[in-house]
Structure 1
Amino acid sequence: MILYTPMSEMDIFPESEAEMSKRHCVSHNGKQLYVEELNDGSYQLLQVLSSDPNDFMDENYTPGTILR
């Protein structure tokens, strides 16, 4: 099924309160990132929050990357 909508995935498929409490906006090396805290205390990168196109080209900030 494909949904063509301007709404985010979280608006269409809401997550539980427990999952949402593990997600945070953090600053890492001067970049704003949206991350999810994992059980071992590390963070998994979900989204880069930037208006600089070069931030999206940085291989260290690929979604899914584990940050310690």
Structure 2
Amino acid sequence: MTLYTIVPEDIIFPHHHERTANLIEMIYNGVHVMVEHDGGRSFRIDRIMSTDPADFMNANIHPGAVINVFEQINGQ
């Protein structure tokens, strides 16, 4: 959907900025994703930002999947 308007985005989509304020862009296992921190030691994938179609076929990386990046960093 394309909107051609002079009305500010926050008036048209009032809750959009609140929702995206909690999102973080990161690279997980070589895939560019946007995640939301759950407050603990893990993140939930909100969307895949990659342009590679093969990344969307990865069964471990999909919207809603919970990932633990701390284990990834520590090599465990």
Q: Does the TM-score normalized on the shorter chain lie above 0.5? A: yes
Tell me which residue corresponds to 1:59. Answer: 59
Gap regions ≥5 residues in structure 2: 4-9, 69-76
Specify the structure having the higher radius of gyration (Cα): 2
TM-score computed with the length of structure 1 as normaliser: 0.71
Higher strand share: 1
CA RMSD of aligned residues (A): 2.4
Equivalent pairs counted in the alignment come to 60
Once the two structures are TM-superposed, the CA of residue 64 in structure 1 deviates from its matched residue by: 0.1
Tell me which residue corresponds to 1:47. Answer: 47
Q: Does 1:25 align with 2:20?
A: no
1:61–1:14 distance in 2 versus 1, CA, 3 Å: same
TM-score computed with the length of structure 2 as normaliser: 0.65
1:9-67 Cα offsets, whole Å, 9 max, x none, are: x97342427x61x3100111111110000021310001111111110011111100000
